Amino acid sequence: MRKLWAPWRAKFILHVKKDECIFCTKPKERDEEAYILYRGKYNFIILNIFPYNSGHLMIAPYAHKSSPEYLTKEEYTEMFELLQWSIENLRLALKPDGFNVGFNIGRVAGAGYEGHIHLHIVPRWNGDTNFMPVIGDTKVISVGIEDTYRLLKPLFERES
């Protein structure tokens, strides 16, 4: 595998502590520092700092719960209302052709933080899987996280 030099990602990689849950600690930070786009009553929306694509969001409950069946009706309902609103805002801002939406429940399913459920929303564009990941085993993210945050934050500050 070839390496793509991306020194700006060092600040994200170095601050992640393996023994803490980011979905429990990030809401204690200021929105701009944590890339939190919206704070609901039961859930919050945050940009993924290791995105699969530009605009990759996650919705997580404040409560540390490992799987959807443990969410209260209120937590679950708000999460899926925020999913609808997130897709609407991503369509407005980034004009994707589609989305991947889902949970990774358990380490075997790819969960990086298996103890705290979170819903991924990944914008997709026709042609976003090109020769780089297929041939070069390298993913290109075309918009930086700071720019993505500045673009999306105003949309999440308006009423849903």
Task: List, for residues 132-146, the tens digit of each pLDDT value.
Answer: 444 444 444 556 789
- Cα(44)–Cα(92) distance, integer angstroms: 20
Domain assignments of the chain as residue spans, ordered by start: 23-157
Residue of 56, 116, 118, 120 marked active site: 118
Count the neighbouring beta carbons within 10 Å of the beta carbon of residue 152: 23
User: Does 118 participate in catalysis according to the annotation?
Assistant: yes
For 4-21, the DSSP string reads ---GGGHHHHHH--TTS-
What dotted CATH number matches 23-157? 3.30.428.10
Q: Are 138 and 129 in contact (CB under 8 A)?
A: no
Q: Can you tell me the mean pLDDT for 104-128? A: 86
Map residue 102 onto helix, strand or coil: strand
What are the backbone angles phi and psi of residue 89, rounded to the nearest 5°?
-65, -40
- Whole-model pTM: value is 0.81
In this prediction, residue 136 carries a pLDDT of 43
Q: Is the pLDDT of residue 155 over 80?
A: yes
Q: Give me the pLDDT at residue 105, please.
A: 87
> What gap in Å lies between CA 79 and CA 61, rounded to an integer?
8
Hey, what long-range contacts does 40-48 have (CB within 8 A, 24 or more apart)? 40/78, 40/82, 41/74, 41/78, 42/72, 42/74, 42/75, 42/78, 42/79, 43/75, 43/78, 43/79, 43/82, 45/82, 45/86, 45/156, 47/145, 47/148, 47/149, 47/152, 48/120
